[in-house]
Amino acid sequence: MQNMDRLKERAKKLVAQMTLEEKTSQLTYRSAAIERLGIPSYNWWNEALHGVARAGVATSFPQAIGMASIFDEELMQKIADVIATEGRAKYNESLKKDDRDIYKGLTFWCPNINIFRDPRWGRGHETYGEDPYLTARLGVAYVKGLQGDGEYLKSAACAKHFAVHSGPEKGRHEFDAVVSKKDLWETYLPAFEACVKEAKVEGVMGAYNRTNGEPCCGSQTLLREILRGKWGFDGYVVSDCGAIADFHNHHRVTSTAEESAAMALSAGCDLNCGSIYLYVQKAVMDGLIKEEEVDEAVEHLIATRMRLGMFDSCEYDNIPYETVECSEHLNLSEEAARKSIVLLKNNGILPLDKAKIKKIAVIGPNANNREVLRANYYGTSSRYITLLEGIQDEVGDDIRVYYSEGSQIIRDVAEGGANPGDRIMEAISAAERSDVVILCVGLDATLEGEEGDANNEYYAGDRPTLLLPKAQRDLIEAVAKLKKPMILCNMTGSATDLRFEDETMDAVLQVWYPGARGGKAVADILFGKCSPSGKLPVTFYRSTEDLPDFLDYSMKERTYRYMTKEALYPFGYGLTYSKTLCESAELSYDITTGTVTIGVKVKNEGLRDAEEVVQVYCKDNESKHEVPNYKLCGFKRVALKAGEEKDEVILIPDTALCIVDEEGIRRLDSRNFNFYVGTNQPDLRSSALTGQKPIEIGFILP
């Protein structure tokens, strides 16, 4: 990266030449051209949550929650690098055509590193799950991949939504997320801190809500004291879109647009995704804000554009358009989709043996649904492969595939004027004629998503229940009565109440939103071309009754770290087609550096090649401030041939030995610890499901 001090000084000199009107013209996401100073116009708004979004063709990866289930920092960084490459290629082509429209720039407003604290939150599938450590590690990897390690930024990542933001969608413009200091620093802030300090993320986006009374995009506590003060953040801060107008329209903490603009800018919000900063010039004239504060914001914005090489020749200028959706990138997206799928149950039916099957029924509203492949914040694919199409392509003409939609995703009537359940009879007929039934159910981004998003205009927002829609439950129950061999493919972006399905299905796959060609990946898993290897980044609760009130931001009874009830499918859980286990583990401690290292022998005792995720959890045995259960502190994905064993080393961060007290201070509070090393977390339910217990290592700090 170019010398930061030199770039900051260069930006400062350029801003010093601007008039107040010219400065304020840079403060909204549609930054105007200043021709006399050689500054072109620039639209800051672009998205790349799981592929370059909203600007035409791009490689489509699994939705973020699916990528999280891979538990692989290296692969995550590789995916983000591919996305940055395509972003640069599209940007270079846009400049050649003098197209500076929205979604054509290099400032990607991702990743979403909020904590998925409640499975009812509609945007949870944009995140990396419920655990702060996993979210931090994957967030850092994604940021590093997007930004690259060159002289200039390859693209600019943006960590969002800062902070304490995970619903409700309907009330986000006026909601106050009240949170304790302990929960704030233990759960909601660690991923942001890691992305700022370790990954040097270039952008941070404020949230819509208030946190402990302060609107996040105008919070002196969050933006000045923590972000720029304690963490030393030196990039740009952008508001969520329309969030500053909420100050006076919904939060009622200001009375006018000028006051809102002044509040946000003085707190350190540099860029307005919206139009309220059009009032900044008047706010200066009215004495609500100083021109020096405007200078500071514009300097941050110009410095970011300089770090992206927008005022120079840059090493990324020659990335060609041909890289967009090239075969190498498509292969990576299929690999990610395969590795993201989580096998939740298997009584031996999987993998399917084509030699023993003559007829298959593929049933359900997500069997041939392209929308479920896209998720939200998506780009366009030149080809989509649904689950039905993936299965048809895999079996060819050798096996008859019967298909029935069975039901709509949420409506119980497919055709106008028909009686409820008008497709169930067809589904039963298909199932009766088949040797195996594959039920493809779930949701899509029209049902769980962002409030007000154009993609979700009918059913946007949060979920009232963890159950599948009634139309689908009726379908599943009707087909299940046939007692045929049945496999459930659940395509959701969040945890689902699958108690009935767990009891009645022979196998259950959590497919998430797998990307444009996800159907091929599912077929590869179903027919044993590879072993499933995903792990759950969220807890699958048994029902909504196991959850606290949705509006309560306390972590009590939330996520695997704090819950006291038994999960249906626990965080970190996922099966393979082989028998993989951790044979032995030992701990070493470097007293000079304070580093804990776990050495583990991993073995594949089965007959199939597989990949496994070794997980390490830590528990402070003495501190009253420790989480009630334990916390993830290390993980590593390992590829094993049948019969192979490997010795792996996992470095544990020194923060694993620390607790966060009631004042939000992270500190060492004990010398007595337990570490658990295995292929799942050390809870009784995981052990019952897998037949394995993690290795327990006691450790007394010298």
Task: Report the 10 Å Cβ neighbour count for 654.
Answer: 12
Structure tokens at 436: 């195996």
448 belongs to the catalytic site: yes
The Cα 645–Cα 398 span in angstroms is 37
Structure tokens at 88: 């640069």
Contact 162, 205 (CB under 8 A): yes
Give the pTM: 0.97
The Cα 425–Cα 318 span in angstroms is 57
pLDDT of residue 455: 47
Q: Which residues of the chain have pLDDT under 50?
A: 454-459
Residues 484-493 pLDDT 10s = 999 999 999 9
Task: Report the 10 Å Cβ neighbour count for 682.
Answer: 22
Catalytic residue among 448, 450, 462, 611: 448
The Cα 448–Cα 386 span in angstroms is 20
The Cα 345–Cα 501 span in angstroms is 10
pLDDT of residue 458: 39
pLDDT of residue 459: 45
> Structural domains in the chain?
4-322 (3.20.20.300), 340-562 (3.40.50.1700), 580-700 (2.60.40.10)
The Cα 13–Cα 15 span in angstroms is 6
Task: Report the 10 Å Cβ neighbour count for 546.
Answer: 17
pLDDT of residue 460: 54
Structure tokens at 443: 């949701």
Residues 409-440 pLDDT 10s = 999 899 999 999 999 999 999 999 999 999 99
pLDDT of residue 1: 60
pLDDT of residue 456: 46
The Cα 478–Cα 480 span in angstroms is 6
Catalytic residue among 86, 126, 183, 240: 240
299 belongs to the catalytic site: no
- Burial of residue 295 (CB within 10 Å: 0-12, 13-18, 19+) is middle
pLDDT of residue 452: 64
